[in-house]
Amino acid sequence: MNAAINRRITLAARPVGMPKESDFSLTEEAVPEPGPGQALVRVLYLSLDPYMRGRMSAGKSYAAPVGIGDVMTGGAVGEVVRSEARGLKEGDLVEGMFGWQEYALCTRGAARVLPDSGHPPSYALGILGMPGATAYFGLLEVGQPHPGDTVVVSAASGAVGAAVGQIAKIGGCRIVGTVGSDEKAAYITDELGFDAAVNYRTANDIGAALDEACPGGIDVYFDNVGGPMTDAVMQRLAFKARVVVCGCIHHYNLTEPYLGPSHLRHILVNRARVEGFLVFDWLPRYPEAFARLGAWLDDGSMTYREHVIEGLENAPDGLGMLFEGSNFGKLVVKVAER
């Protein structure tokens, strides 16, 4: 073990606009030794998520930015290979913010020991992890859908969006997803049970497409994207509509503030509620979400799709795919075989 090398991807520069290769460095160090209370984790899967773009910038966000030269932040699943921590033992599968590296040290408090649920370990980065909890609490606690409501979710084939739509479907809602390809449109309607899909890349008029998909207006909008899609949705809110502001990936790589029409009048006339949502605020209730989502996977009322990239060194490219929307399903990087 002493001779083993830990490959890591560090932040080399703060990106301007879309992150590029030179914003990252692949560095090597010796695999660290766990001290008292620590365990050494061998990373199996790394998660790629839109929030990572915010951590690469110095501006205000929910959390402190990644420092230049520091390992890129990120959730990962790994296997405990040595432990000096009570409650963590060799062979345990754990999930935590292990970062973009092959080995990480962690404490018991910073790791979730994965139950033997029969689901693939990587699901703990998606439907049975942060994105799943995001969909579950964001939709149910902030969006507060009622049976019969029309629920629109953007980035609907993504990790969060696909779960939002399926949970809303289970809850008796009419569900409409916005996506960036016909293949994704077919996927959400044919495989996930969405009632309609709007392809923002091919629709001549996004507003007209939304009108057709949502003839009674939009009761709940779960927003992952911002930008022109959100502008179009805001003009079609129903009375007492709820908008879950979960992400605005359209804005993350812009070098100037996004300018668009004001939403105030639509919010006012409809007495709508627009509310920001961050999943970490719901941490104490994650087990509830994972139990329900796991049961829905087991009984077939929910399906889940991953997009797996092989090799830690390809994580920066993967992040680029996320911002181009060229992934299809929850993006994970396979770092090692179990």
Tokens of 171: 């809850």
CB of 232 vs a second copy, minimal distance in Å: 12
Nearer to a second copy, 59 or 91 (CB): 59
CA pair distance 143, 82, nearest whole angstrom: 43
CB of 281 vs a second copy, minimal distance in Å: 7
Tokens of 31: 């695999």
CB of 248 vs a second copy, minimal distance in Å: 4
- If one counts every other C-beta atom within 10 angstroms of the C-beta of residue 235, the result is 16
CB of 76 vs a second copy, minimal distance in Å: 24
CB of 75 vs a second copy, minimal distance in Å: 19
Q: Give the interface with a second copy as residue ranges (CB under 8 A).
A: 60-62, 223, 226-227, 230, 245-248, 251, 257-265, 267-278, 281
Q: Crossing angle, helix 159-170 and helix 130-137, to 10 degrees? A: 40
Nearer to a second copy, 37 or 227 (CB): 227
CB of 185 vs a second copy, minimal distance in Å: 24
Residue located via tokens 């997803």: 177
DSSP state, residue 325 = T
CA pair distance 80, 89, nearest whole angstrom: 6
Nearer to a second copy, 184 or 236 (CB): 236
- Neighbouring residues of 243: CB distance < 8 A, sequence distance ≥ 6: 220, 221, 223, 233, 234, 237, 272, 273, 274, 275
Whole-number Cα distances in Å, 161 to 38, 42, 214, 226, 316:
35, 30, 17, 14, 22
Nearer to a second copy, 2 or 262 (CB): 262
Nearer to a second copy, 50 or 121 (CB): 50
Nearer to a second copy, 116 or 256 (CB): 256
CA pair distance 141, 161, nearest whole angstrom: 16
